Amino acid sequence: MIRSLIVIFIVVTAIGFASANPREKEMNLAPLDMTGKTITPYILFHAAKHLQSIKPDEVLMIETDIFKAIESDINAWCRMAGHLLEKTEIKEESQLYYIRKGIPDPNQKSLAMMISSTSLEELLSPLGLALSAAISGRQVHLYFQGPGTRLLKNGYTSSLEGISKPFTGFAKSGLEKAGHLPAEKKIRQLKELGAIFYICGGSMDHFGVKEADLIFDDIVQAEYFTILEVMESSDVKIMLQ
């Protein structure tokens, strides 16, 4: 009798463990709602933060608008960051992505970028690329020179240039609605992700940037030899004038 009860207990326990398997319960997970956003660095910045709170091999669900560029970028991010996109589901007006958290590669690549512009529209792609690299686990180095040094000054905000400048607020509102955050917010996201910032010492005085005004205490003041060394040791190099 006791032996039979033990056998029953073992079977029931095994069934309980099987039903608790996260692979079978993933359908009950509440998705990360990113509907309404089409800019993938915004979507995947928040996805990466949510992944920090779960263990490897657990699943994160992301819900987005149905948009081919999002699907392509989520696939690329999973490949670069070491996660597994297990499946997708298309609903009436949205798409679900099931991402199984992987273990990051300790030998990740790096990206170095030089930025000279402060123009709102000209900063969209470079900062988007830098964020994409950081979100994917790359070490990002950002060197600001010329007018670009102003972006590292407390209180400075990027704007449209020329006759379009009065429409900066309207442009920022529309861009942010899609997920394109202002440059100053992207820079703080990059800092949160571990990016290393450099500023051209020779440009600081000329463009009214003082050391006491810098947004971060650990910005490296440097010039050409420092950034050349960083560029030489990085896997991806981007220079924007």
Residue whose tokens read 């170095």? 112
> What CATH fold (topology level) applies to the domain 110-240?
Hypothetical Protein Ychn; Chain: A, (3.40.1260)
Domain ranges of the chain: 27-100, 110-240
Both tokens of 67, joined, read: 């948009």
Q: b/e string for 147-183 if b means 16 or more Cβ within 10 A? A: ebbbbbbeebebbbeeeeeeebeebbeebeeebbbbb
Gap between the Cα atoms of 79 and 85, Å rounded: 9
CATH architecture type of domain 27-100: 2-Layer Sandwich (3.30)
Q: Summarize pLDDT for 205-223 with one digit per residue, the tens.
A: 999 999 999 999 999 999 9
pLDDT at 15: 43
pLDDT at 5: 42
Indicate the length of the chain as a whole number.
Answer: 241
The CA–CA distances, whole Å, from 5 to 15, 17, 20 equal: 15, 18, 23
- Rg for the chain, CA atoms, rounded: 23
Three-state SS for 184-218 is: HHHHHHHHHCCCEEEEEHHHHCCCCCCHHHECCCC
Q: Which residues of the chain have pLDDT under 50?
A: 1-2, 5-28
Q: CA 218, 220, 224: angle at the middle one, nearest 5?
A: 170
Gap between the Cα atoms of 47 and 63, Å rounded: 10
Side chain identity at residue 170, one-letter code: F
pLDDT at 31: 86
pLDDT at 191: 98
pLDDT at 38: 95
